[in-house]
Structure formats: C-alpha cells, structure tokens
C-alpha cells in the first residue's frame, strides 16, 4: 500500500534529511512524499526520482498545511528534523504540527536515528 509521507526539515537539518532520504531511496520510492517548499526542493535536487509534492514553506504556513493533511487522515508518517539549537520565527506552527501529529497518533521521527527505526520497523514496506 502506498502512503503519503510528510518530510520536513529546518535549514541546518536539511542535509541530514537529504542524506537520510538518499539512504532510503528504494523504500521512499514506493510512496508519495509531501514536503514544505524548501525541504522539497532540496530532496528533489538530490533525488529527482522521488515523488515529491510541496506545500508552502514552513514559515509561510507549510507546517499548518501539513497539519491540516494530518487532521484529514492523509499522512501515514511524519519525518521532521527540527533544529534543536536555533529559534524559529514560526515556532508556534512547529509546535502545532507536532501536537496534531500526536493527536492523530501518526508515526513520527524527529531525528535520523528514529527515522531509521521507522524504516527498520517495516513502516515503508507496507
């Protein structure tokens, strides 16, 4: 079954997300990916084969758009690498995204180690 996966990263974490996605291209290639704008651009550039659609950039409402998709039951997992060391102008939106993912019990990973475990757990093999 194909899932829609949300992939998002703050600027300093985008290389880590791109590296993670590159390591799991085969698994990700079976699913649709939705990303905030800049994250999606980085992933597409690194791996044009991935099926990436984008919403707005996080600070411009993209986190809220992905939160809305979660509330509509459209997102199978959230892979979100936030920057733990830099304040974000849209911090309230970031918190709202994390909260709504918890409300709907969406599988989440907030760092590469946990994202690897989601893959190892077979989530993307469904």
Ligand X SMILES: O=C(CO)COP(=O)(O)O
Q: Which residues are catalytic?
A: 63
Kindly state the DSSP code that residue 111 receives in the 8-state scheme.
S
Whether residue 24 is annotated as binding a ligand: the answer is no
Site string for ligand X, 3-42 (x = CB under 6 A): -----x-x-------------------------xxxx---
What are the CA-CA distances from residue 55 to residues 11, 35, 66, 113 (Å)? 16, 6, 8, 26
Which C-beta is closer to ligand X: that of 99 or that of 126?
99
Q: What is the dihedral of CA 67, 10, 16, 1, to 10 degrees?
A: 10
User: At 4, which helix (H) or strand (E)?
Assistant: strand 4-9
Q: At 76, phi and psi to the nearest 5?
A: -85, -25
Q: Residue from 63, 78, 100, 119 that binds ligand X (CB under 6 A)?
A: 63
For ligand X (CB under 6 A), the number of binding residues is 12
Whether residue 95 is annotated as binding a ligand: the answer is no
The verdict on 94 binding ligand X (CB under 6 A) reads yes
Annotated binding site for substrate: 10, 14, 57-58, 90
Q: Which residues bind ligand X (CB under 6 A)?
A: 8, 10, 36-39, 57-59, 62-63, 94
């Amino acid at each position: 079954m194909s899932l829609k996966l949300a992939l998002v990263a703050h600027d300093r974490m985008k290389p880590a997300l791109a590296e993670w996605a590159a390591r799991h291209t085969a698994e990700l290639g079976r699913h649709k990916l939705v990303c905030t704008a800049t994250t999606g651009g980085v992933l597409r550039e690194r791996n044009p084969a991935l099926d990436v659609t984008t919403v707005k950039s996080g600070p411009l409402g993209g986190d809220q758009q992905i939160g809305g998709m979660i509330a509509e039951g459209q997102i199978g997992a959230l892979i979100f690498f936030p920057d733990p060391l830099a304040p974000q102008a849209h911090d309230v939106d970031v918190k709202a995204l994390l909260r709504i993912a918890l409300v709907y019990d969406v599988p989440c990973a907030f760092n590469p180690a946990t994202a690897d475990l989601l893959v190892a757990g077979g989530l993307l093999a469904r």
